[in-house]
């Protein structure tokens, strides 16, 4: 192994091997304390490399050594002009890219079902959100991609907006037509900012959807830890655009991230890039083949439907991630959440996510063919077992796509005092919290928006039919927080 191709890892390894006594942070002193106390679960060899910015180890916030080189290599590998390593997840990247593209009071066009990191940026940046409803796929019963028509309408109605934010792919692996969206945003003088948390692998195999950078996005935040191989919390932000103020972006990266970044996390980002550059295409080819076989095998199972090529073109599904296994079980007598529990308890398999009718399994270059085959076999068992043993309500999630009246900006609502009121007394009040039935995961009310009877009826219908309500303090919806 030639460590010079993984510069951060090399710097840490060289330092750890120098045989120094550590009179610097962190206080575990190269893992010594775990040796002393017998807590050997913590890997001492790794912890020798968990060091602070001593000479020879670069500084994330003003890199001029190993981190600078590693970021440059990552930029080249991912097709960016600038790449920034992130230690506060994609969340920190999303905060930074949105706030670097705007100033307080600016409008941003965002999907109504965006990740809370986007909503967080809207609050922190005191922005004016303009929502676009995602499409809803009736077959899989999931919120799907963003249509070009919806984005075009939003930019035409809000020519003063500064940016369009898109989640691509979605958690379920659905992709929108990003090239068109980039064209629309740019022709209206707006930036296209992509939350590509689930698509960091796209750049490394042509059989996958095009990466957001390739499609023309200006800034892209990716969770390297989700679909590539870096450690939890480590992500990347890529820029390829003349429209971005890099100095402002750097400032926001400093404001949203710790001054004590873990160099182990940074080395894991460096290593993830190295693995993908050296072997990514072949490793992904294998995973895609195994996932294709999985989908083919599942096609023959009555009652199971996987997101796949045949779904392209329907309900906002422009493309899909072939490494993601989104399995709809709604024709079986078992819910996604029950199947999730069975997969764990009976088959020793843990999937990423389950909702009322689907399970979602993330596959990556770390998987083996036999693991994916185990999942296929387990699902076949569950399907053959389901008709007799499992019962579900058969409820189909519906979509509520009306956007309520926004009386206050989300950030204004956050600073107002709120109180709990019985749900039915909240009609006409300004909401202090979000109500997000999951699925489909689209907020029906946001802080600062006016609660209507129709919204409450929809929320109660969801709750009654076993759909989880996220975003609220009282998930049983007896009370709701409204602004005083």
Among 102, 113, 176, 223, contact with ligand PLP (rule: CB under 6 A): 223
DSSP characters for 346-407? Answer: HH----SEE-SSEEEEE--TT--HHHHHHHHHHHHHHHHHHHHH------------PPPPBS
Backbone angles phi, psi at 457, to 5 degrees: -60, -45
> Shortest gap between Cβ of 129 and ligand PLP (angstroms)?
16
- Residues 184-203 touching ligand PLP, rule: CB under 6 A, are 195, 197
> Shortest gap between Cβ of 167 and ligand PLP (angstroms)?
5
- Residues 234-263 touching ligand PLP, rule: CB under 6 A, are 235
Position of minimal CB gap to ligand PLP:
89
Q: Which two tokens stand for residue 156?
A: 């035409």
> Shortest gap between Cβ of 135 and ligand PLP (angstroms)?
16
118 vs 382 by CB, closer to ligand PLP: 118
Among 8, 49, 117, 228, contact with ligand PLP (rule: CB under 6 A): 117
Told to check if 295 binds ligand PLP by CB under 6 A, we report no
234 vs 431 by CB, closer to ligand PLP: 234
d(CA 150, CA 152): 6
- H/E stretch holding 337 reads helix 336-347
Contacts of range 112-116, beta carbons closer than 8 Å, 24 or more positions apart:
112/401, 112/403, 112/442, 112/443, 113/143, 113/167, 113/440, 113/441, 113/442, 113/443, 114/165, 114/167, 114/195, 115/167, 115/195, 115/197
235 vs 357 by CB, closer to ligand PLP: 235
115 vs 322 by CB, closer to ligand PLP: 115
β-pair partners for 239? 82, 219
> Shortest gap between Cβ of 169 and ligand PLP (angstroms)?
9
d(CA 169, CA 397): 21
Per-residue x/- track, 71-110, ligand PLP (CB under 6 A)? ------------------xxx-------------------
Among 22, 84, 171, 204, contact with ligand PLP (rule: CB under 6 A): 171
Q: Are 128 and 108 in contact (CB under 8 A)?
A: yes
d(CA 76, CA 63): 17
241 vs 256 by CB, closer to ligand PLP: 256
- Residues 11-70 touching ligand PLP, rule: CB under 6 A, are none
- E strand map for 232-304: 235-239
Per-residue x/- track, 122-161, ligand PLP (CB under 6 A)? ----------------------------------------
3-class SS at 480?
strand
d(CA 82, CA 87): 17
Buried b (16+ CB within 10 A) or exposed e, 195-220: bbbbbbbbbbbeebbbbbbbbbbbbb
Q: Which two tokens stand for residue 451?
A: 């609660």
9 vs 110 by CB, closer to ligand PLP: 110
235 vs 257 by CB, closer to ligand PLP: 235
> Shortest gap between Cβ of 226 and ligand PLP (angstroms)?
7
- Name the residues that contact ligand PLP, by CB under 6 A: 89-91, 115, 117, 167, 171, 195, 197, 223, 235
């Amino acid at each position: 192994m030639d460590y010079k191709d993984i510069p951060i890892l090399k710097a840490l390894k060289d330092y750890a091997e120098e045989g120094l006594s550590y009179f610097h942070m962190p206080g575990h002193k190269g893992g010594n304390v775990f040796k002393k106390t017998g807590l050997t679960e913590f890997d001492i060899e790794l912890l020798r490399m968990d060091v602070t910015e001593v000479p020879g180890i670069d500084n994330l916030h003003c890199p001029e050594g190993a981190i600078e080189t590693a970021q440059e290599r990552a930029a080249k590998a991912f097709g960016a002009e600038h790449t920034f390593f992130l230690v506060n997840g994609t969340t920190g990247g999303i905060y930074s890219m949105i706030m670097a593209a705007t100033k307080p009071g600016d409008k941003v066009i965002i999907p109504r079902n965006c990740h809370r990191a986007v909503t967080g940026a809207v609050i922190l940046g005191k922005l004016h959100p303009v929502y676009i409803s995602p499409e809803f796929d009736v077959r899989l019963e999931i919120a799907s991609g963003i249509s070009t028509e919806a984005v075009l309408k939003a930019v035409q109605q809000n020519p003063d907006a500064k940016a369009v934010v898109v989640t691509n792919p979605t958690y379920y692996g659905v992709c929108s037509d990003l090239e068109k969206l980039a064209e629309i945003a740019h022709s209206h003088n707006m930036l296209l900012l992509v939350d590509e948390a689930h698509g960091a692998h796209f750049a490394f195999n042509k059989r996958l959807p095009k990466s957001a950078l390739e499609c023309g996005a200006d800034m892209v935040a990716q969770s390297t830890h989700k679909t590539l191989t870096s450690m939890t919390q480590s992500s990347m932000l890529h820029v390829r655009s003349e429209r971005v103020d890099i100095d402002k972006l750097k400032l926001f990266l400093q404001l949203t991230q710790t001054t004590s970044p873990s160099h182990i996390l940074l080395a894991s980002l460096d290593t993830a890039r190295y693995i993908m550059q050296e072997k990514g295409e072949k490793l992904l080819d294998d995973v895609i083949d195994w996932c294709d076989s999985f989908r083919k095998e599942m096609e023959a199972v009555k009652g199971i439907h996987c997101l796949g090529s045949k779904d392209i073109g329907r309900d906002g599904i422009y493309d899909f991630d072939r490494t993601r296994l989104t399995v709809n079980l709604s024709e079986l007598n078992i819910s996604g959440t029950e199947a999730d529990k069975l997969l764990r308890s009976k088959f020793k398999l843990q999937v990423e996510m389950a909702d009322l009718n689907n399970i979602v399994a993330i596959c990556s270059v770390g998987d083996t063919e036999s693991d994916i085959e185990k999942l296929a076999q387990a699902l076949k068992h569950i399907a053959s077992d389901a008709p007799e043993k499992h019962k579900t309500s058969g409820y189909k999630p519906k979509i509520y796509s009306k956007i309520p009246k926004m009386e206050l900006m989300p950030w204004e609502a956050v600073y107002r005092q709120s109180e709990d009121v019985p749900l039915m007394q909240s009609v006409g009040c300004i909401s202090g919290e979000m109500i997000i039935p999951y699925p489909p995961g689209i907020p029906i009310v946001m802080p600062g928006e006016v609660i209507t009877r129709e919204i409450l009826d929809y929320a109660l219908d969801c709750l009654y039919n076993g759909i989880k309500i996220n975003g609220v303090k009282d998930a049983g919806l007896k009370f709701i927080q409204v602004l005083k």
